[in-house]
Structure 1
Amino acid sequence: MDWNKTKTIFIVVFSILNVFLYSLYLNRHTEAQNIQVIGTTSIEDSLKMDDITFDTLPIYKKDSSHISAKTAEFTNEQVRKLENQTVGIINGTQIQSKLQTPISIKNAKGDFTFTEFLSKYVLKGEEYGLWKVDKEEREAIFFQKVNDGPIYFSPNAMLTVHFDEDGKATSYEQTMFDDFVSFNRKKDLLSPIEAIGSLFSRGYLKQGSTVKDVTFGYSILAQMSETQLFAPTWHLRVELKNGEIEDHFINAIEGKIVEFQPETLEADHE
């Protein structure tokens, strides 16, 4: 047997096979892109039929992973450094603080501003983002952030600041996670327009409504003893025809609707 000739034949055959497989891949990739474009166009057309509009959609990362974290345990050494406050630690995982002298959280125009308060009086305060200010209850609620995205409505990742009638902070409660770890491989995310389409197809978007904001964050997926697993999540803020605001949340990988307790959804960014 002529092994050189046989080897040459094998090389040629495998080269042709590689070219064929690559060509097949390109064709399927192109078809998938075309389907995606058609699907996106269909979503926009469907929205127009129901007079549903949306503001400018955010630039987003096309893939992400689940993350895990452990509930943080606070130490006396940590809270001892906090100034102008009497601090108690509840069950090792919650800070309860009463400010000795109330601190103004309003600017010269009378608007609430929390940046200085968070950085000066709250442990790792820069890790929290404002969710709502409730003027009737005189409290401001913050969610802990990871990868610049809030962890929505986790009781173990919240900061609640109480203030008086003069707009001065008087006390707060704080919980947080630490030891964040990416869990499994990165997966493709729904685009913002696909998230809107998912809401629409399930009947959550009413005629004449406007999607005012689409933001990226995380929601609890599973509890594993002391560790919690979080899923990438889209938050869609929708303004109804009558001016009312609704908040919706969608798992950004699976496309499932994420439900929270109704009372926690009465949020108003200030």
Structure 2
Amino acid sequence: MDWNKTKTILIVVFSILNVFLYSLYLDRHNDAQSLKVMGETSIEESLKLDDISYGELPIFTDESYYVSADIAEFPEEKLKKFDDQSFTFEDEAHLISMLEVPYPLKNAKGEEQFSQFLATHVLNGKEYVLWNRDKEKKQAIFFQKVDDYPIFFNKNAMLTINWDEDENIISYEQSMFGEFINFNKKKDILLPIEAINALYSKDYLERGSTVIDISLGYSTHIQLTKTQVFAPTWHVRVKLKDDEIVDYFINATDGKVIEFTDELEEPEIDENVEDLEIENQGDF
């Protein structure tokens, strides 16, 4: 047998096979990309047909963690530095503060100074972000954050600031979670357009409505005695034809719409605990 000739033939055969397999891979990859583009176009076209519009959508990474944390208590030694307040407790995890000296709601320029108040008068105040202000009730509601992402409507992760007729902050109510850890492995999350489509496909979006904002946060996924697990959640703010503003929340991993029954209650969610395993993945 002419070994050199045989070796040359084998090299040629394997080279042809590699070219064939690579071309097959490219064909399948291009087909998949084409289907993806068609799917996205279909969503956009469907929304357009129903006169549902949206602006420039945010860019987010397509992976995120579930996170977990324990409900935190308020150690008295850490509250001692706030010597211009008197504290009472609904329970160990819910604090009520009365300011002995009212704090101006606005500065000399007429600007609200919530950030300054949180930094100087509230334990771990920088962990909260403003959700809503109610001028009639004279109060503002803040949500605790996981990094820069708010936890939506969890009664154990909220801060409510109250002011008087003279626009002076006079009291606040606070609850919070302790250290957050990554829970389970990274999860693929829906793209913003897919979150909008989740609402549209379930008939939540009225004809002629406009998506005016979409942002990422967290909502309660599993609630145990003191430990809770939070799932990545899209917050979609929609303006209806009559100018009414409506807020929607979508689980960013499975597309389920989350409905909150009350601002201070937990969401109605029916999930299986068995499909998650606690795994500390390091910093979020």
The interval holding the TM-score normalised by the smaller chain is 0.7 to 0.9
Counterpart of 2:227, as a letter, is T
Indicate the RMSD between aligned Cα atoms, in angstroms.
2.7
The CA deviation at 1:133 is 0.4
SS at match of 2:180: strand
Which residues of 2 match residues 20-39 of structure 1 at below 5 A? 27-39=27-39
Counterpart of 1:204, as a letter, is Y
Give the equivalent residue in structure 2 for 1:51: 51
Q: Aligned partners of 1:149 and 1:36: how far apart in 2? A: 28
SS at match of 1:82: coil
Change (3 A) 1:57 1:13: same
Identity of aligned residues (%): 55
The CA deviation at 1:118 is 0.4
Give the equivalent residue in structure 2 for 1:170: 170
Which residues of 2 match residues 94-243 of structure 1 at below 5 A? 94-243=94-243
SS at match of 2:200: helix
Q: Which runs of 5+ in 2 are unaligned?
A: 1-10, 266-284
Q: Aligned partners of 1:211 and 1:136: how far apart in 2? A: 27
Deviations 1:46-66 (A, max 9, x none): 111111111221121211011
Which residues of 2 match residues 42-81 of structure 1 at below 5 A? 42-81=42-81
Change (3 A) 1:123 1:263: closer
Residue 238 of structure 2 contacts residue 245 of structure 2 at CA under 8 Å; is this kept in 1?
Answer: yes
TM-score (norm 1): 0.87
Give the equivalent residue in structure 2 for 1:249: 249
Q: Which runs of 5+ in 1 are unaligned?
A: 1-10, 266-270
Change (3 A) 1:256 1:22: farther
Counterpart of 2:194, as a letter, is E
Change (3 A) 1:187 1:93: same
Residue 83 of structure 1 contacts residue 121 of structure 1 at CA under 8 Å; is this kept in 2?
Answer: no
Give the equivalent residue in structure 2 for 1:4: none
TM-score (norm 2): 0.83
The CA deviation at 1:177 is 0.6
The CA deviation at 1:224 is 2.5
SS at match of 1:116: helix
Counterpart of 1:227, as a letter, is T
Bigger Cα displacement from structure 2, 252-261 vs 16-25: 16-25
